[in-house]
A and B are shown apart, each in its own frame.
Chain A
């Protein structure tokens, strides 16, 4: 098998168009047995390949550095609406072709949008890879945006919003949490957008968004699974090499979110059978050095049935049916979310006092050696589970590439968890999990 350098030299032989010339960037180990290779096309498209023959499948991810943070007030939800529109007609394919061709090949195609990114993926039998390359490169440049599709998709998204937010007590509370926790940063508006904004989008909005953000220079393609790298790169050269680089995306100034100095409390009456508490502590960004200790702290507090808060809330005091916590994996500082699902008749104040006491104890005493060991083993287990399929690997690589600028950093994060000490946890908890840094949503029962 040719080295990446030789492969690129061969592929570039006779290629005059600059956009279609490959550059090999680097090759790093991905776990014990696999190699992650980084290539770049002349038009700026980054391609990461991970050959893994564990199953006769391939996963193809196209990540774009655009999410709801790139929107503005009055146009919230555009990134997400756009994700829907990307499954429509192109100059080369009629409406519905994309799904029909993908499904006929046995591929599962879907997409996701969040604050910092949007990605599209296909999990497919390995023989379908040429089709994936053709269709993905096509919709990156040739999407047709006309009124009927935009109008129909706006209705679908409006329905999705009703489903996930308006009629979903957790969705509604989360939206309120971010709205109250942030005053300047775009993280304050929901990725799905407000209903008024969704209803108000025009075809022109969509075309402008497409021209600005959908281009090779703003994208990374990750391919993981059972494929032949040389053939794949050659096909990509043929299809993506035709595409222009795209506009230079203007780098906005970093958003300066003022520090939070006092707890914010909001009450949300809802038609729900049980009360709930949702707390959001200001949390560091995904790449901040304090994030791994907080992730370990989260495992100590909320990780499974042996965790402190599960035991205290669900078994000992029986205040809650369940508890859960997670830290937003955002480019900029986000929130450490905590949910307490109270049992009927239990008091919010009792739950809050217990939570504060236990967080205070973790901040002053730190985790025990056994808790630390358990947390790190559980994180390792979760990590390995995420890597079971080609799709899981591609997703991790795409996420780390987009948020951390390094697809291979996924293993570094696992090692970082392993290096976290009890003192690190203590320090991070004391620093970040103070009541004055949190926003609290109290979900109250509203009688029907």
Chain B
């Protein structure tokens, strides 16, 4: 099935998504940012309409369109007042099948993309998150930033964008999702009118090399002046999407840092007041993705906070969780799951993920059962098997002179590197 519909007449709104199974993992080495540039250049409008006229048409319809590129997908997302659904689909079809890809727009877009790389250095948390992925994944494609880097953007020319478009979008596998105030019959009729090829292409699974960690604990200090606060990410490899440990680990991680009453938040924030936020996340993908914990302690006790987090991590991985904690996490995950599907667009999104990213259908349809079935032993074995306490990337955005000595003294640290925050 290539057209997914979620009907709801609660509000006169419709969300449309055209999703392609290609993303930044398809960026050639040295051309990082190509998928995103392609998506954003398409977004500047179809042939026969200037960018300004295209934007005016969208706004007049009461529509918004964005293009989002992840590692494995390019998604053109639109939302529109129900009464203007059909004209919007016409515009979207033109955008997808007849994008202008103008040289003038491309030159401007590249300048804009380079300016965005500079401007984002203001945001310490996202800077820490990016540097953490680089430290954890090294040369692996999972380390790549979707937005590329200054030198990789400089290498990308319009012919490469045209070629990426031709290969991954024009001839790529795609799905159409429609959610909101539209009937199933009407949605299928409209999609078959404007996207008649929506059933032709089959998704091809991309080949992704196995992810590996560096042995030992490695600290990277991203040196930024005048930081009163630090952004601290500590993590290692987590799980694969089709990992039998995924759900046990999900439940176990919920106990550790997935909720406000989790261990991490209680020890770091509630007991000591050291950080406004304190959480851990388990990501999954075709190969093992990241597991990490993130906090934002003040400079003066950033290393103490890191030491505390390391000891909590060791306790969690080695001793595991207790039965009441398991039951609590299961209740939390099952009871709160209704918020993953309380709007038609969220329901559509999870169905698209299944079709597009190869997420097992049972993860969506039998989520409660999969969470509820996790036994204490499964959770603790999975944590022990997957979460390394020895091989860790520790990344902190801070003023290096204030924290370097203390981070170097953290237990088990094998190397410490200081990099300037604006290294490019």
Interface residues of A (CB under 8 A from B): 33, 52, 54-57, 95-96, 99-100, 103-109, 123, 125, 128, 151-156, 158-160, 162-163, 166-170, 271-274, 303-306, 311, 314-315, 318, 321-322, 341, 343-344, 370, 373-374, 377-378, 380-381, 384-385, 387-390, 448
Contact = CB atoms under 8 A, between A and B. Distances in A.
A385 B14 CA distance: 10
Nearest to B58: A306
Instruction: Kindly list the 8 A-B residue pairs having the minimum CB-CB distance in the complex, ordered from nearest.
Output: A106-B335, A155-B273, A377-B62, A306-B55, A374-B59, A106-B336, A55-B342, A162-B229
A274 B115 CA distance: 9
Contact of A167 (B229, B328, B331, B345): B229
A152 B273 contact: yes
A103 B259 contact: yes
B159 to A, nearest CB: 23
B332 interface: yes
B119 A387 contact: no
Contacts of A109: 260
A93 B341 CA distance: 32
Nearest to A128: B335
Classify chain B: how many residues form its interface, as a range: 35 or more
Contact of A304 (B59, B111, B276): B59
Given A96-B266, A96-B270, A380-B62, A55 B338 contact: yes
B64 A381 contact: yes
B260 A103 contact: yes
Given A99-B259, A448-B224, 6 more contacts: A103-B328, A106-B337, A108-B336, A159-B298, A315-B51, A377-B59
Contacts of B332: 103-104, 106
B228 interface: yes
Contact of B11 (A55, A123, A153, A388): A388
Contact of A159 (B115, B224, B276): B276
Nearest to B224: A271
B269 to A, nearest CB: 6
A100 B328 contact: yes
Contacts of B48: none
Contacts of A123: 339
B59 A273 contact: no
B12 A384 contact: yes
Contacts of B61: 377
Contacts of B192: none
Contacts of A156: 269, 273, 275-276
Contacts of A155: 272-274
Given A96-B266, A163-B296, A343 B115 contact: yes
6 contacts: A95-B270, A103-B336, A109-B260, A156-B276, A370-B60, A381-B80
B102 interface: no
Interface string B4-19: 0000101111000000
Contact of A374 (B60, B118, B272, B297): B60
A147 to B, nearest CB: 13
B369 interface: no
A374 B342 contact: no
Nearest to B227: A167
Contacts of A377: 59-62, 81
Contacts of B10: 33, 52, 54
B108 interface: yes
